[in-house]
């Protein structure tokens, strides 16, 4: 496919859907002007994330949107030729899911419902039950939503399903129980980067990590959007501030180079691994 520009967003999103859509439109414009073919927006970019992860207020949850809602159709239209991943709260009858959707101007390419839930989130959302990759104009792609990437099996499932690109959409906060005085010193800041690099390197795939910034209630988000190469190297990043991390690479060639000597997926020993 040759060189592809990939963009990961760090930005703040809240409950005001009109404001969120305006911000998304601006980010898509900026990404397009930089030549990006893939843009990964944060988790909960439509409607914001929870304000309290330990005890979510049932009267202050993000707005639950139908998978065919006007807001997602607008984002699809704005995306046009680009591939755009975005997170939102999905309504499925009385159930709510922390979800992500991948679109172009032609419509929906893939969907994901967050599988792994930190304590407290299950009071606000139901859990998804699968990981699946899908084809896009920039290559085969799979999505994870924040806590999913803590578990190696999540990204590995996508890689086994043929994903060359893993998009990790996050609303990842600083430590709730032991917040550091400076964000760069926070335990969760270190883990956020560690998981991104490990998931890319162990599967030898390109990982695109977005995240929220700013605050929502008692939650303060880390930012730290980045693009990680298949050797685990950070190719572009935003640090803790809002912005867009953009990297250009030949995805297929970079993956082939990473797997030339050591091919992790091909050298697995599934027969000796414990499943439970």
Q: What tokens were used for 107?
A: 């419509």
H/E stretch holding 165 reads strand 165-170
Count of residues making up the chain: 276
CA distance 149 to 155: 7
> Residue 231, exposed/middle/buried by CB under 10 A (0-12, 13-18, 19+)?
middle
0.85 exceeded by pTM: yes
- Are 102 and 136 in contact, with CB atoms under 8 Å apart? yes
Q: What tokens were used for 135?
A: 């084809």
| pLDDT tens for each residue of the chain, 276 residues long | 699 999 999 999 999 999 999 999 999 999 999 999 999 999 999 999 999 988 888 889 999 999 999 999 999 999 999 999 999 999 999 999 999 999 999 999 999 999 999 988 999 999 999 999 999 999 999 999 999 999 999 999 999 999 999 999 999 999 888 777 788 789 999 999 999 999 999 999 999 999 999 999 889 999 999 999 999 999 999 999 999 999 999 999 999 999 999 999 999 999 999 987
CA distance 257 to 2: 14
- Are 90 and 67 in contact, with CB atoms under 8 Å apart? yes
Alpha carbon 16 to chain centroid, angstroms: 21
CA distance 162 to 139: 10
CATH number of 4-272: 3.60.110.10
Angle of helix 17-33 versus helix 70-79 axis, rounded to 10: 10
* Domain edges within the chain: 4-272
Q: What is the DSSP letter of 173?
A: B
Q: What tokens were used for 237?
A: 């990043």
What pLDDT, on the 0 to 100 scale, is given for residue 1? Answer: 64
Q: What are phi and psi of 235, to 5 degrees?
A: -90, -30
- Are 65 and 71 in contact, with CB atoms under 8 Å apart? yes
Task: Report the relative pairing of strands 226-228 and 95-104 from DSSP bridges.
Answer: unpaired
- Are 243 and 210 in contact, with CB atoms under 8 Å apart? no
For 213-256, write each residue's pLDDT tens digit: 999 988 999 999 999 999 999 999 999 999 999 999 999 999 99
What pLDDT, on the 0 to 100 scale, is given for residue 176? Answer: 81
**Helices and strands: H and E segment counts in the chain:** 5, 14
Alpha helices, DSSP H, located in the chain: 17-33, 70-79, 152-160, 187-203, 251-258
For 132, the 3-state DSSP assignment is coil
H/E stretch holding 232 reads none
């Amino acid at each position: 496919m040759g060189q592809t520009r990939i963009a990961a967003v760090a930005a703040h999103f809240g409950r005001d859907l009109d404001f969120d859509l305006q911000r998304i439109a601006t980010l898509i414009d900026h990404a397009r002007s930089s030549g990006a073919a893939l843009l990964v927006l944060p988790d909960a970019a439509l409607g914001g994330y929870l304000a309290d992860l330990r005890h979510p207020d049932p009267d202050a949850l993000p707005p639950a949107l139908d998978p065919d809602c006007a807001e997602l159709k607008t984002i699809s239209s704005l995306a046009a030729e680009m591939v755009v991943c975005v997170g939102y709260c999905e309504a499925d009858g009385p159930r709510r899911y922390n979800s992500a959707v991948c679109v172009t101007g032609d419509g929906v390419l893939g969907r994901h419902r967050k599988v792994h839930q930190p304590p407290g989130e299950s009071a606000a959302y139901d859990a998804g039950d699968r990981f699946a990759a899908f084809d896009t104009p920039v290559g085969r792609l799979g999505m994870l939503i924040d806590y999913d990437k803590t578990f190696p099996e999540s990204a590995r499932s996508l890689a086994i399903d043929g994903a060359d690109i893993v998009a990790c959409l996050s609303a990842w906060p600083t430590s709730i129980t032991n917040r550091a005085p400076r964000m760069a010193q926070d335990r969760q800041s270190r883990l956020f980067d560690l998981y991104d690099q490990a998931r890319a390197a162990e599967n030898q795939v390109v990982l695109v990590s977005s995240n929220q910034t700013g605050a929502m209630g008692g939650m303060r988000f880390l930012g730290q959007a980045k693009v990680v190469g298949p050797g685990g190297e950070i190719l572009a990043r935003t640090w803790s501030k809002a912005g867009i991390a953009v990297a250009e690479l030949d995805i297929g060639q970079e993956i082939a180079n990473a797997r030339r000597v050591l091919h992790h997926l091909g050298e697995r020993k599934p027969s000796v691994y414990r499943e439970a």
